[in-house]
Chains A and B, each alone.
Chain A
Amino acid sequence: MIDNILPVFYILAAASFILAIKWMNSPATARRGVFVGEAGMLLAVVGTLLRYEVVEYKWIVIAFLLGSAIGVPLAYLMPMTAVPQRTAISHAFGALASALIGTAEYFAHSPHGFRMAALILETLLGFLTFTASLMAFGKLQEILPTRPITYKGQNFVNLILFTLAAVIGIALIISPEQRWMFPIFMVLSLIFGVLLIIPIGGADMPTVIALLNSYAGLSASAMGFALDNKLLIIAGALDGSSGLILAIIMCKAMNRSFTNVLFGAFGQVQTKAAKTEARPVRSASAEEAAEMLDAARSVIIIPGYGMAVAQAQHKLRELFDSLSKRGIDVRFAIHPVAGRMPGHMNVLLAEADVPYDKLIEMEEINPEFPNADVALVIGANDVVNPAAKNDKSSPISGMPILEAYRARTVMIIKRGMSAGFAGIDNELYYMDHTLMLFGDAKAFVGSICKELSASK
């Protein structure tokens, strides 16, 4: 009897996941989306616990309690600047879960045929996403060097390893009873995940995180095939397509292809660009900057990863307030790849209470720059580099940029004259209408604010 009702739980759960994602399209409905997503998850879990195959509850309950005990503080104590790391580590957890379920399923039920193929795909994606996400976490947390690590023949080694994993995987699908091969397959998948991330640098993290999100989803979907569970197939497919779309958006915003991000090792161009000689720049003090901002009618602020590093978002919001109070129109221009994950800047500024209708996307804000009196760049570099438009030989050529250089005055807060992630000199710094504001982003914005309130 109960087994006739249980499929309804799963169908309702699938429907609520779809609604949850649908409602994410606007901040006004997004929280409702989270709520319905939670309800869906609850239905799925209850629907599973009631199934007749599930008889042993002790370990499940312990895992629930322990997982909640870890998950709740993780969600509430995590500072917003650490969101990219948290996302990476949660991809690792998700992928690990799915890989381990695949492994357990293999040893417990020895599936064969199509189910075994799905199981191999599930464990391959699961294990490689697990180590790849841990590596991404290490790079974001700066436990590991954020610069890309490359060596000669790297792509060749990766290819060999992947081929080996694929061959053993196929052999396992053909003869699943060869159990000794499974641990080798596991280890190869794990190593491949590590090697995949080694050559990837910090600024490519938005793409990579999105891609890992997609893999984790696809792994869950493959599990759905292995266990013949439609709810898993649907939820995994939603997650997989979501990650893929975000990765495509990130790639487009850098004018690069997937293969280029994954195998291109952007950092190599540095050596070539290191020749930068000292060219004259104009610099200004906080007082001068404050005067110019005070006289402006329209200001566009361009935040980048440097703002996140310096934790300058709260000071920036003070600046936003005091300029807005003077009737100055202040907006924020957000480049799709600013920061370390998709939407990173938006979350930080929203945390600092900047109203979200002041956060403007690239396509919308670019035509506004010629009318702006001041473009204030904080911790961004490559995304405002005019070389992307003008210099065909530049490594970032063709990347869509925020056209800050078209504003009447450009101010750039920067610690020193070092090049950005791509290792390319930025033409913008040497332009006649550019003022360099040397100093720590947070401290400098703070002193501009002080000057502004003093001159009131």
Chain B
Amino acid sequence: MRTYEFGLYVFMLAAFLGFELIRRVSPLLHTPLMSLTNAISAISVVGAILITGERDASVLTRSLGFIAVLAATINVVSGYLITDRMLKMFKKREPRK
């Protein structure tokens, strides 16, 4: 099987899995869900690292890569932290005072 064919299979299965999983998320949590998936899509940091860390990268690719690592890192860090901050607020019953 050619690589791109294999990739397309992976994509299809992941997309269907995503549909099934996300349909089950309660509307209550749609905002945290969106910030979580946003943090997950910052996985592009992987591509950014590969570009930036190359041995003979030119100044152009290294600077583009640097900005990409920076932008993705901001998303990873703030995405996970703010999702957790939001989720901490969802309480079933009020704490007794």
- Could you list which residues of chain A lie within 8 angstroms of chain B, going by C-beta atoms? 13, 17-18, 20-22, 24-27, 30-31, 33-34, 37-38, 40-41, 44-45, 48-49, 51, 53-57, 59-60, 62-64, 66-68, 70-72, 74-76, 78, 80, 83, 86-87, 90-91, 93-94, 96-98, 100-101, 103-105, 107-108, 114-115, 118, 209-210, 213, 216-217, 219-221, 223-225, 227-243, 245-246, 249, 334, 336, 341-344, 346-347, 350-351, 353, 355-357, 359, 361
Interface presence of B24 (CB below 8 A): yes
**B73→A68 contact, CB < 8 A:** yes
| Alpha-carbon gap, A426 to B35, bound state (A) | 34
Listed by A's residue number, 7 A-B pairs whose Cβ atoms lie within 8 Å are A75-B82, A87-B34, A107-B61, A242-B34, A246-B22, A344-B31, A361-B28
Contact yes or no, B80 A60, CB < 8 A: no
Distance in angstroms between the alpha carbons of A72 and B53 in the assembled complex: 24
Q: Which residues of A contact B62 (CB under 8 A)?
A: 56, 59
Cα(A355)–Cα(B14), bound, Å: 34
User: Interface on chain A toward B: helix, strand, loop, or mixed SS?
Assistant: helix
Question: How does the 8 Å CB contact mask read for B19-38 relative to A, with 1 for contact and 0 for none?
Answer: 10111111111111111111
B96 at the interface (CB under 8 A from A): no
**Contact between chains at A230 and B32 (CB < 8 Å):** no
Residue ID in chain B nearest A117 by CB atoms: B4
Name the B residues within 8 Å of A101 (CB-CB).
Answer: 44, 47-48, 51, 64-65, 68
A221–B45 alpha-carbon span in the complex (Å):
13
B32 touches A30 (CB 8 A): yes
Of B10, B22, B34, B90, which one neighbours A234 at CB under 8 angstroms?
Answer: B10
Contact partners of A30 in chain B: CB under 8 A: 29, 32, 87, 90
Query: Quick check: B38 and A87 within 8 Å, CB to CB?
Result: yes
Asked if B7 and A233 sit within 8 Å, CB to CB, the answer is: yes
Asked whether A235 and B27 contact (CB < 8 A) given A38-B80, A90-B78, A101-B51, the answer is: no
**CB < 8 Å: which of A24, A68, A98, A217 contacts B77?**
A68
CB A321 to nearest CB in B, in angstroms, measures 8
B27 touches A336 (CB 8 A): yes
Contact of B52 among A56, A216, A234, A249 (CB under 8 A): A56
Does B1 sit at the interface, judged by CB under 8 A? Answer: no
Closest to B60 in A: A107
**Out of A74, A93, A223, A350, which one reaches B86, CB within 8 Å?**
A350
Known contacts: A59-B65, A90-B78, A104-B51. The answer to whether A233 contacts B14 by CB under 8 A is: yes
Task: Select which of A45, A49, A355 is within 8 A of B92 by beta carbon.
Answer: A355
Q: How far is the CB of A69 from chain B (nearest CB, A)?
A: 9
Interface residues of B in 67-87 (CB under 8 A from A): 67-87
Q: How far is the CB of A300 from chain B (nearest CB, A)?
A: 17
Q: Which residues of B contact A236 (CB under 8 A)?
A: 41, 43
List the 10 closest pairs (A to B, CB-CB), nearest first. Answer: A67-B73, A71-B77, A343-B30, A241-B18, A54-B53, A75-B81, A343-B31, A237-B14, A342-B30, A63-B69
Residues of B within 8 Å of A33, CB to CB, are 36
Interface size range on B against A: 35 or more
Is B27 a contact of A108 with CB atoms below 8 Å?
A: no
Q: Smallest distance from the beta carbon of B28 to chain A beta carbons, Å?
A: 5
Q: What residue in chain A is nearest B18 (Cβ atoms)?
A: A241
Asked whether A22 lies within 8 Å of B21 as measured between CB atoms, the reply is yes
Pairwise interchain contact B73-A71, C-beta atoms closer than 8 A = yes
Contact A24 B18 (CB under 8 A): no
- In this complex, what residue of A is CB-closest to B72? A97
Chain B neighbourhood of A231, CB < 8 A: 43, 46
Is B81 a contact of A37 with CB atoms below 8 Å? no
| Known A-B contacts A90-B35, A229-B47, A230-B7; A238 and B28 likewise in contact (beta carbons under 8 Å) | no
Whole-angstrom distance between the Cβ of A260 and the nearest chain B Cβ: 21
Given A30-B29, A230-B10, do A355 and B93 touch, yes or no (CB 8 Å)? yes
B27–A343 touching, CB < 8 Å: yes
A354 to B41, CA, bound (A): 31
B27/A351 in contact, CB under 8 A: no
Shortest Cβ distance from residue B76 to the other chain A in the assembled complex, whole angstroms: 6
Q: Which residue of A lies closest to B38 (CB)?
A: A90
A343 contacts across to B, CB distance below 8 A? 27-34
**Distance (whole angstroms) from the CB of B83 to the closest CB of chain A:** 5
Assuming the contacts A59-B52, A67-B72, A343-B27, asked whether A239 and B38 have C-beta atoms less than 8 A apart, the reply is: yes
Report the separation of the CA atoms of residues A78 and B85 in the bound assembly, to the nearest whole angstrom.
Answer: 10
Cα distance, A83 to B86, chains bound together (Å): 10
Establish whether residues B36 and A24, one from each chain, have CB atoms under 8 Å apart when the complex forms. Answer: yes
Q: Judge whether A34 and B10 touch: CB under 8 Å.
A: no
Residues of A within 8 A of B31 (CB): 83, 87, 341-344, 346-347
- Asked if A34 and B84 sit within 8 Å, CB to CB, the answer is yes
Which residues of chain A are near B11, meaning CB under 8 Å?
Answer: 221, 224-225, 233-234, 237
State how many angstroms separate the Cβ of B13 from the closest Cβ of chain A.
8
Q: For A56, list chain B residues within 8 Å (CB).
A: 52-55, 57, 62
Q: Are B19 and A245 in contact (CB under 8 A)?
A: yes
| In contact, B27 and A55 (Cβ under 8 angstroms) | no
Give Cα A344 to B90, complex, Å: 13
